Amino acid sequence: QVQLVESGGGSVQAGGSLRLSCAASGNIYRTYSMAWFRQAPGKEREGVAATNSDGRTNYADSVKGRFTISQDNTKKTLYLQMNSLKPEDTAQYYCAADPRTAYLLPPLDRGAYNSWGQGTQVTVSS
């Protein structure tokens, strides 16, 4: 069982930056995948960025060049640095994990992950 707790959300003006954190605890194996998803009101939950225990990364086209996913293994913490934020980035952001599998290309499909946090809200105003 893995527990994930997100933090760092908030309100920011367009063009601003935020850094989200996801603290993981529980049984995380040497090979794993983790990702950030987001869900705006009335929309499907979508993958934003993913990484794995090998350090590989994968990004949605909508955030490439603006968002960076990273991890601190000693702290068991996943990060999402979000720069040049746009109003369309407004959503509830969720951390997700598959604590046993390091996919060659970290997936952005929600079905690949079996552990989820409660989410943190990001609001970007124009």
pLDDT in tens, 51-110: 999 999 999 999 999 999 999 988 789 999 999 999 999 999 999 999 899 989 999 999
Alpha helix (H) ranges present in the chain? none
Residue closest to 108 by CA, chosen among 54, 61, 76: 61
Per-residue pLDDT averaged across 8-24, rounded?
A: 98
Sign of CA dihedral 8, 44, 104, 68: negative
Residue closest to 95 by CA, chosen among 14, 16, 25, 11: 25
* Tokens, residue 5: 């707790």
Residue 27: count other Cβ atoms within 10 Å of its Cβ.
10
Comparison of pLDDT for 123 and 27, the residue scoring more: 123
Q: Mean pLDDT across the chain, nearest whole number? A: 95
Q: What is the pLDDT of residue 28?
A: 81
Q: Strand 2-7: give its sheet, edge to edge.
A: 2-7, 18-26, 77-82, 67-72
